[in-house]
Structure 1
Amino acid sequence: MNLTFYKYQGTGNDFVIIDNRQAVLSKNNTKLFARLCDRKFGIGADGLMLLELPQNEEDDFTMVYFNSDGNESSMCGNGGRCLVAFAAFLGVIRDKATFTAIDGKHKAEIKDGLVYLQMQNVSEIEKYDSHLFLDTGSPHHVTMVDDLIHYDVTNIGRKIRNGAPYFETGSNVNFVEKKGEGLFAVRTYERGVEDETLSCGTGVTAVALSMYTTKMTNKEEVSIKTPGGELRVTFKETKNGYEDIFLIGPAEQVFKGEIIC
């Protein structure tokens, strides 16, 4: 079978995307998804997404996301932004979208070339002496470091990801350095990819909320520099935590192709 695919990237976080509204692929074909994401034997990507038919009348489409290891994963923020851009390319939406992902319903809008993706509300952030932990659709460990550019993200991130209390389930690990008021740099080790990625949307969201929680900033709009580019996160603090959380940044189609499956 010749499979048509699209390649998208959002601040260097890259994805294989397939229009699966006609159910051309089974969601159980995890070996195929891992091969398609393989940078030596396949297309190469941090993850793979299927755009599927909506599950209800409110939605425009359904997002199904797989990590590069082929396993279905928790929410991917940059992936969600890229899928919204892909839906607009297909004509499924114009500039606004409502869709369901593994963590629930999301709304999004395309404005001035950027995708604004509404993330799930966050009601709990766990604070420890050395780090914070929270779930922004995916679990995230957030810790401050010095000299981030030279930090051993891969080895230290892998150790934290696999260690107590995360073990097999694992957590994404974010290393953060403050660069200015409301401006931070972050590098992220992603579970499922099992390596550092150039950007992580749910990680950037977790960092923004963590920096506000620890009073490293008093701004409800935070800019985050990743190795792949800059993203913004806006939010509102409420008595129940954080709401109206938006992940904002570019999403670009890189190429379209066919691969033999």
Structure 2
Amino acid sequence: MSALPSSVEMQFHRIVWSEECDAMKLEFTKMQGAGNDYIYLDCRHSGVPADAAQWAALLSRRRFSVGADGLICIAPPQLSDGDATMVMFNADGSEGAMCGNGIRCVAEYLYTHGVQKELIELDTRQAGRKTLYRVGEHRWRAGMGRFSTRAADLPAVGLGAGPLLEVPLVAAGQSWQVSCVSMGNPHCVVFCNEAPPAGVQLADWGAAVENHPAFPQGINVEFVQAESPTSLTTTVWERGSGATLACGTGACAAAVVGVLRGICPRETPIDVRLPGGTLTVRVLQDDTVLLTGPAETVFDGYVEV
């Protein structure tokens, strides 16, 4: 392999060639929101690396690498009045459309790295622009936009045009009544009479629904138990990542279905309790959704790629 300069500076995130181990060292920041953790690369000047998807699959492996639910690049804004663009990759290397926990962490990262603003505007490649408000130390509220229950917006096939509320679905040998919601990415919500599944059961049921023929592009899956009109307990199976401790858009989808089914009220904070922590969702009268929760740095580091 031809020799490269010993130090190649790429503004904000750095890649350093190590001749001793014949590899590159990549500088990153690990962040989490309610236990939903990602590896963050600051690419505002250098742009999204060509190998970002490959790195996501390589570095997300728990116990074998950094370990995460995926990798997020903080890229230049798509429009001049924005602060940055979030480009996310799931743990399997596929590109994700939206991440409610991830986008709060992007806002927190920017706030602690020179963008000292209480309101931050972030673009995404597939889910449009999101406005984030700092509401406390390491805590942000994200405007998640309007939800949709139309099949075409997920997409979903064979379930009708929508609204897709309490429609029958057979998966993993079970007959489900499911509700499907787009929050910029697709979700299938199942309300349970008992505690939501975990462990092997969550993996079996979640994977079966994620890969069901009704969802040609896959789908995120949330199993929900209503503890009260303003408290939902939820477990998550994320498309491309598997079981995660939290999902911001999934919390929004769970609350939306609760509202549409008359279980939860509009215009009222709904606590969605996930294995990694609690996120708070408000579903407004105009069908827009607000998501509030923590966003914290775990550590900074270098890793060989």
TM-score (norm 1): 0.92
Deviation at 1:186, TM superposition (A): 0.5
Say whether the 8 Å CA contact 1:10–1:251 is kept in structure 2: yes
CA displacement at 1:27 relative to structure 2: 3.9
- Correspondence for 1:166: 215
| SS of residue in 1 equivalent to 2:251 | helix
Q: Is the 8 A contact 1:212 1:219 kept in 2?
A: yes
Kept in 2, the 8 Å contact 1:60–1:93? The answer is no
Q: Is the 8 A contact 1:235 1:246 kept in 2?
A: yes
8 Å CA contact retained: 2:31, 2:39: yes
- Bigger CA radius of gyration: 2
1:233 pairs with 2:277: no
- Unaligned 5+ residue runs, structure 1? none
Across the two proteins, how many residue pairs are aligned to each other? Answer: 255
Identity of counterpart residues, as a percentage?
31
Helix, strand or coil: the match of 1:237? coil
Q: CA 1:93–1:259 in structure 2 vs 1: closer, same or farther (change >3 Å)?
A: same
Name the Cα RMSD after superposition.
1.6
Structure showing greater relative contact order (alpha-carbon pairs closer than 8 Å, 6 or more residues apart) = 1
Structure 2 vs 1, CA of residues 166 and 101 (structure 1 numbering), >3 Å: closer, same or farther? same
Question: 1:202 Cα shift?
Answer: 0.5
2:146 aligned to which of 113, 117, 121: 121
Find the counterpart in structure 1 of residue 224 from structure 2: 176
Report if the CA contact (8 A) 1:157-1:173 is conserved.
yes
Distance 2:101 2:192 in 1: 24
What amino acid does structure 2 have at the position aligned with 1:141? C
Match of 2:33 in 1: 10
Deviations 1:161-191 (A, max 9, x none): 1123114x21111100011121110001111
SS of 1:148's equivalent in the other structure is coil
Partner of 1:107: 131
Structure 2 residue ranges without an equivalent (≥5):
1-23, 150-162, 169-176
SS of 2:95's equivalent in the other structure is coil
Q: In the TM superposition, what whole-angstrom CA distance separates every residue of 1:66-112 from its partner, at most 9, and x where no partner exists?
A: 10111211101111111111111111242210010121011001112
Q: Is the 8 A contact 2:190 2:224 kept in 1?
A: yes
Match among 48, 63, 80 for residue 103 of structure 2: 80
Q: Could you list the per-position Cα deviations for residues 109-167 of structure 1 after superposition, in whole angstroms to 9, with x for gaps in the alignment?
A: 11122110110212434112511101001100001113325552111111111123114
Q: 2: distance between equivalents of 1:63 and 1:149? A: 31
Aligned-residue offset at 1:11:
0.4
Q: Give the TM-score, by structure 2 length.
A: 0.80
Mapped pair 1:216 → 2:263: yes
Which residues in structure 2 correspond to 1:170-209 (within 5 Å)? Answer: 170-193=218-241, 195-209=242-256
